[in-house]
């Protein structure tokens, strides 16, 4: 978990937000992937489905998720997008998308006003979040600033900042990953800026 | 101080589990916190938070009104509860009106404060705490011992016992297993509950938003699954604008648990979408209960308004040497530790906080770590003063404070008498077993040093000083010795004279000086200190001293910082206190500054030496570099001990009031001293010297301990 401040400073100067994000997120037990194309992202999810022998996947019906055509890649495994209150608690993997990613802390920012965005990211033991690489911002202040200005409209009803999987250290200060929320968080960046075809 | 607290202290000290858990965390906390703050400017962040929160405190009513309006515009129902009872009644009636049977709760200290759980279960509702620590506390029928880690006092074995009783199956003392069990058990509760109750870390007036900082994910489930959500938020959580949340969110997780950010930060503005258990969309209801319960009273108090800057990170608990020994069940009420003592006085009444006030040793470490910039030790001192004003002092202290100390002649006369009658009581090693010292309350086998045969003031009488006949070319230095150096350690005073004269100063000892008065203030009689301050100002003001130098950081702090503060309304003495403040300096600071130009040459000291920071020198006066520089100048090999700035456990009269705690704190200091491998411990405080020598007396006085003045004088 030790982060070399010199390295961090260098990254900031170089503007390598992705590198900084990856370092921060991995330090808090998230897994970070970089997919140039949607098909690559879909492949990563297919791999996770196999790896976890998932029987059921739940997903939000949001644009980025829809582009992956999950039904095509998950084989026999059903991908539910409706009635998630009934399906999410029994699902092995939940797929959603984030609006922004904060490099400094490895945090995802999601407008989770739609209850489905919350159900898929809270109930299943594995959460996969997709985010566009051009949505990386440097710090928490910048992210909140994106919502905080009057002309950007009202704040979302439920704004969620997610950093790593759920955790506790309530017994003897021993860190345990995965309590009430997901035990695994996989973050897939899609669409490397200037990375050609998506 | 009641007998109960003494009993509780002894009980806590004999609890190995508690001390193991708290000690391990206390050891690990500063490093993990520092790593989290890497690349962050903590003082700047603290200043931002201080300014945001104090603005909010000044405008509490406006912010509450704006918050209520904005939240209502977004569809929330806001209720202002003046008392805990009103908040309880509102929430219980709401639950009963909506036909709620099961309630899930995420962590809320405000709900602990108003004993919400017992009100809900008393109304026949099934309430489940869902934060793992809180659930353990709920099942075992205890109260949280720590604001952030409620069950830190329990071992995995004890938790397994609690879970075994709850589930009726034999639960092994295996942490991952128990965490999984909590997930499964509470998941059923989440999915079935009709009402969710959460707390909030911040409430934003500009937008009507409540912000929650959590790790386990139970907060997200509590606010998502049940169609009815109640937020219970203390009035002090209000801030003006959304951007004000940034510094608080930056600091809170770092200060609380050493995390850069918690797993989840949730911002709720009005009710978000909901579905019922069968998946049908329903209208979500969101009720926000804003709790006053003593907070406005706190705001209206010019001294205690500052306590509203608290963000409830509990770092004041984590760094407190006393909390680390006894935990929150002794040191606190609902809220624990330093800030808990203050909050208890306002939320539960001054009387409730009476016992725990005495636990603060005044080391000021919490003040250094507090991200809200609260001077917690000062506020606890003020509570003591108020308690004393209300209840009076015990007889022995009353005589001491009201009759003896205000009269220098009587005070010093008693000390001289004590020096004569103690002789038959001296032990072989020259320490005293039963000190008939007037301040002693509990001084059993403490290995206290004897009172000197001749006090410094007699050794430095007119005519005995300036034997070399220095022409005072460099200036005149007045020594303010303080009681310990004057009457117990006159050798330190003589050493100061030797060093200062060698540097070319003419030294004088104003004979009218008396106790600095700080201990009196600590005992809860600040008005007595004012009288003493005037005496000292008279004594020191009439001298030609260009500088007033003390060997005691507490005296320096009193003369330099406290006198101007307590006398600011006094038209005659106020300006004199301010004027004198500029001339008062600590000995090491003065020597270090002047050593070069005044050609202080020292014989090289070829020794391994370690330095112990006195609490008042480092934290009240900000001096930690100068003593170290002097040690290096003397040519010694300075080896830093671990936690050099951790209190030695002296704390003035504390070591006699709470010897069992003082000894434990000292023990930790001694371990660090031994581990450094140094042959001598240097200190710049006669109190620390007394305490550390007392400990080292049990180990044959090895390593030795010396005041820096003695150390330097020995090299001339």
If asked whether residues B550 and B627 sit together in one domain, one would say no
The 3-state DSSP class for residue A132 equals strand
- B179–A112 CB contact, under 8 Å: no
B220 closest CB neighbour out of A89, A122, A155: A122
- A159–B269 CB contact, under 8 Å: yes
The 3-state DSSP class for residue B239 equals strand
A7 to chain B: which residues are within 8 Å by CB? none
B275 to chain A: which residues are within 8 Å by CB? 85, 115
What's the domain range around B431? 408-594
Residue A152 is predicted with a pLDDT of 63
B182: exposed, middle or buried (Cβ count in 10 Å: 0-12, 13-18, 19+) = buried
Residue A117 is predicted with a pLDDT of 96
B261 to chain A: which residues are within 8 Å by CB? 105, 107, 140, 161, 163
How do the domains of chain A map onto residue ranges? 5-190
B133 to chain A: which residues are within 8 Å by CB? 168, 170-171
If asked whether residues B587 and B614 sit together in one domain, one would say no
> Which site among A21, A158, A174 would you substitute to test the B interface, given the most B Cβ atoms closer than 10 Å to its Cβ?
A158
- B278–A85 CB contact, under 8 Å: yes
Strands B281-282 and A93-97: unpaired
If asked whether residues B110 and B208 sit together in one domain, one would say yes
B223 to chain A: which residues are within 8 Å by CB? 158
Work out the minimum CA distance from A76 to partner chain B, whole angstroms.
25
Residue B298 forms part of a structural domain? no
B273 to chain A: which residues are within 8 Å by CB? 113-115, 157
Q: How far apart are CA B247 and CA B256, in angstroms?
A: 14
- A155–B224 CB contact, under 8 Å: no
Domain boundary, last residue among B594, B616, B642:
B594
Domain boundary, last residue among B243, B269, B291:
B291
Strand-pairing partners, residue B174, are none
- B216–A181 CB contact, under 8 Å: yes
What is the residue-averaged pLDDT of chain B? 91
Domain boundary, last residue among B275, B291, B307:
B291
pLDDT tens for B530-544 read 999 999 999 998 888
Residue B299 forms part of a structural domain? no
If asked whether residues B275 and B421 sit together in one domain, one would say no
If asked whether residues B100 and B63 sit together in one domain, one would say yes
Strand-pairing partners, residue A59, are A95
pLDDT tens for B379-400 read 999 999 998 888 887 777 787 7
B267 to chain A: which residues are within 8 Å by CB? 155-156, 158-161
If asked whether residues B468 and B587 sit together in one domain, one would say yes
pLDDT tens for B85-123 read 999 999 999 999 999 999 999 999 999 999 999 999 999
DSSP character for B691? H
Question: How many independent structural domains does chain B possess?
Answer: 3
Percent of chain A scoring above 70 in pLDDT: 87
**pLDDT higher than threshold 60 for residue A31:** yes
ipTM of the complex: 0.93
Beta-carbon count within 10 A of A3 CB = 16
If asked whether residues B638 and B550 sit together in one domain, one would say no
Residue A6 is predicted with a pLDDT of 61
What mean pLDDT do residues B676-690 have?
A: 96
**pLDDT higher than threshold 90 for residue B483:** yes
Interaxial angle between packed helices B245-257 and B42-58, expressed in degrees from 0 to 180 and rounded to the nearest 10: 120
pLDDT tens for B214-230 read 999 999 999 999 999 99
Q: What CATH number is associated with residue B231? A: 3.40.50.10420
DSSP symbols for B286-315: EEEEEE-TTHHHHHTSTTGGGGGG-----H
B134: exposed, middle or buried (Cβ count in 10 Å: 0-12, 13-18, 19+) = buried
If asked whether residues B165 and B278 sit together in one domain, one would say yes
If asked whether residues B171 and B237 sit together in one domain, one would say yes
> Which site among A24, A171, A185 would you substitute to test the B interface, given the most B Cβ atoms closer than 10 Å to its Cβ?
A171
Work out the minimum CA distance from B145 to partner chain A, whole angstroms.
12
pLDDT band of B442, cuts 50, 70, 90: very low
Q: Please give the class, per CATH, of domain A5-190.
A: alpha beta
Residue B689 is predicted with a pLDDT of 97
pLDDT band of B333, cuts 50, 70, 90: confident
Residue B391 forms part of a structural domain? no
Q: How far apart are CA B284 and CA B271, in angstroms?
A: 6
Residue B285 forms part of a structural domain? yes
- B242–A148 CB contact, under 8 Å: yes
If asked whether residues B550 and B615 sit together in one domain, one would say no
- A179–B183 CB contact, under 8 Å: yes
A180 to chain B: which residues are within 8 Å by CB? 130, 183, 186-187, 190, 216-218, 220-221
Work out the minimum CA distance from A77 to partner chain B, whole angstroms.
22
pTM, entire model: 0.92
Q: How far apart are CA B688 and CA B707, in angstroms?
A: 9
Residue B446: C-alpha distances to residues B27, B430, B515 (Å): 27, 13, 23
Residue B74 forms part of a structural domain? yes
If asked whether residues B581 and B614 sit together in one domain, one would say no
If asked whether residues B101 and B138 sit together in one domain, one would say yes
Lowest mean pLDDT among A12-26, A152-166, B65-79, B464-478: B464-478
**pLDDT higher than threshold 90 for residue B263:** yes
């Amino acid at each position: 978990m030790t982060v070399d401040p010199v390295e961090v400073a260098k990254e900031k100067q170089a503007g390598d937000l992705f590198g900084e994000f990856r370092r921060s997120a991995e330090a808090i037990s998230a897994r970070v992937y970089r997919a140039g194309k949607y098909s690559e992202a879909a492949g990563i999810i297919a791999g996770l489905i196999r790896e976890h022998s998932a029987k059921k996947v739940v997903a939000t019906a949001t644009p980025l998720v829809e582009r992956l055509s999950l039904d095509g890649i998950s084989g026999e495994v059903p991908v539910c997008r409706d009635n998630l209150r009934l399906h999410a608690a029994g699902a092995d993997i939940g797929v959603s998308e984030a609006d922004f990613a904060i490099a400094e802390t490895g945090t995802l920012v999601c407008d989770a006003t739609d209850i489905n965005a919350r159900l898929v990211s809270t109930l299943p033991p594995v959460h996969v979040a997709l985010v566009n690489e051009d949505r990386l911002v440097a710090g928490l202040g910048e992210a909140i600033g994106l919502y905080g200005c009057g002309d950007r409209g009202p704040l979302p009803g439920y704004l969620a900042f997610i950093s790593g999987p759920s955790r506790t250290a309530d017994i003897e200060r021993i860190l345990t990953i995965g309590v009430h929320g997901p035990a695994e968080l996989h973050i897939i960046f899609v669409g490397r800026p200037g990375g050609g075809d998506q | 101080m009641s007998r109960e607290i003494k009993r509780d202290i002894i009980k806590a000290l004999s609890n190995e589990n508690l001390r193991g858990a708290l000690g391990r965390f206390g050891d690990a906390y500063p490093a993990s916190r520092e790593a989290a703050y890497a690349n962050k400017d903590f003082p700047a962040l603290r200043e931002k938070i201080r300014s945001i929160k104090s603005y909010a405190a000044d405008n509490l009513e406006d912010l509450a009104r704006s918050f209520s309006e904005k939240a209502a515009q977004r569809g929330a129902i806001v209720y202002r509860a003046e008392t805990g009872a009103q908040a309880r009644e509102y929430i219980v009636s709401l639950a009963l009106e909506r036909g709620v049977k099961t309630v899930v709760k995420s962590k809320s200290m405000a709900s602990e404060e108003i004993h919400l759980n017992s009100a809900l279960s008393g109304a026949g509702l099934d309430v489940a705490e869902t934060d793992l620590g809180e659930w353990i506390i709920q099942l075992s029928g205890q109260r949280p011992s720590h604001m952030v880690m409620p069950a830190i006092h329990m071992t995995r074995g004890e938790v397994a016992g609690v879970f075994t009783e709850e589930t009726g199956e034999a639960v092994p003392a295996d942490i991952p297993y128990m965490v999984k069990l909590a997930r499964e058990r509470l998941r059923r509760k989440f999915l079935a509950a009709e009402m969710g109750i959460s707390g909030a870390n911040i409430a934003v007036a500009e937008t009507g938003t409540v912000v929650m900082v959590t790790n386990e994910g139970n907060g997200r489930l509590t606010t998502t699954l049940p169609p009815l959500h109640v937020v219970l938020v203390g009035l002090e959580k209000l801030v003006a604008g959304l951007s004000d949340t940034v510094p608080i969110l930056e600091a809170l997780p770092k200060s609380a648990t050493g995390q850069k950010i918690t797993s989840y930060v949730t911002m709720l503005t009005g009710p978000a979408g909901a579905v019922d258990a069968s998946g049908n969309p329903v209208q979500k209801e969101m009720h926000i209960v804003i709790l006053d319960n003593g907070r406005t009273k706190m705001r209206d108090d010019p001294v205690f308004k500052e306590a509203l800057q608290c963000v409830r990170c509990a770092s004041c608990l984590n760094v407190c040497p006393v909390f680390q020994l006894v935990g929150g069940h002794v040191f606190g009420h609902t809220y624990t530790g330093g800030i808990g003592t203050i909050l208890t006085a306002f939320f539960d009444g001054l009387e409730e906080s009476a016992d725990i006030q005495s636990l603060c040793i005044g080391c000021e470490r919490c003040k250094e770590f507090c991200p809200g910039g609260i001077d917690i030790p000062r506020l606890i001192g003020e509570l003591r003063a108020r308690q004393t004003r209300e209840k009076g002092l015990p007889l022995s202290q009353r005589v001491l404070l009201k009759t003896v100390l205000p009269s220098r002649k009587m005070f010093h006369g008693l000390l001289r008498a004590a020096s004569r009658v103690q002789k038959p009581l001296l032990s072989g090693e020259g320490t005293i077993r039963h000190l008939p010292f007037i301040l002693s309350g509990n001084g059993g086998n403490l290995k206290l040093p004897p009172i000197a045969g001749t006090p410094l003031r007699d050794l430095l009488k007119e005519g005995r000083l300036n034997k070399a006949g220095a022409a005072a070319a460099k200036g005149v230095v007045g020594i303010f010795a303080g009681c310990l150096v004057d009457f117990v350690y006159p050798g330190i005073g003589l050493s100061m004279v030797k060093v200062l004269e060698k540097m070319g100063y003419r030294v004088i000892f104003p004979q009218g000086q008396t106790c600095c008065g700080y201990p009196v203030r600590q005992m809860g009689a600040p008005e007595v200190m004012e009288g003493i301050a005037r005496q000292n100002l008279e004594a020191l003001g009439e001298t030609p001293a260009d500088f007033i130098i003390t060997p005691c950081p507490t005296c320096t702090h009193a003369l330099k910082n406290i006198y101007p503060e307590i006398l600011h309304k006094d038209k005659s003495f106020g300006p004199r206190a301010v004027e004198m403040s500029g001339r008062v300096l600590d000995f090491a600071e003065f020597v270090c500054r002047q050593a070069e130009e005044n050609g202080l040459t020292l014989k090289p000291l070829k020794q391994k030496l370690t330095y112990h920071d006195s609490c008042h020198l480092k934290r009240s006066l900000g001096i930690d570099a100068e003593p170290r520089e002097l040690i290096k100048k003397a040519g010694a090999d300075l080896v830093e001990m671990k936690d050099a700035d951790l209190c030695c456990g002296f704390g003035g009269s504390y070591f006699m009031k709470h010897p069992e705690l003082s000894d434990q704190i000292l023990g930790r200091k001694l371990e660090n001293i031994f581990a450094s491998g140094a042959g001598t411990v240097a200190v710049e405080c006669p109190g620390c010297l007394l305490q550390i020598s007392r400990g080292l007396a049990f180990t044959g006085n090895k390593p030795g301990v010396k005041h820096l003045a003695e150390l330097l004088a020995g090299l001339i």
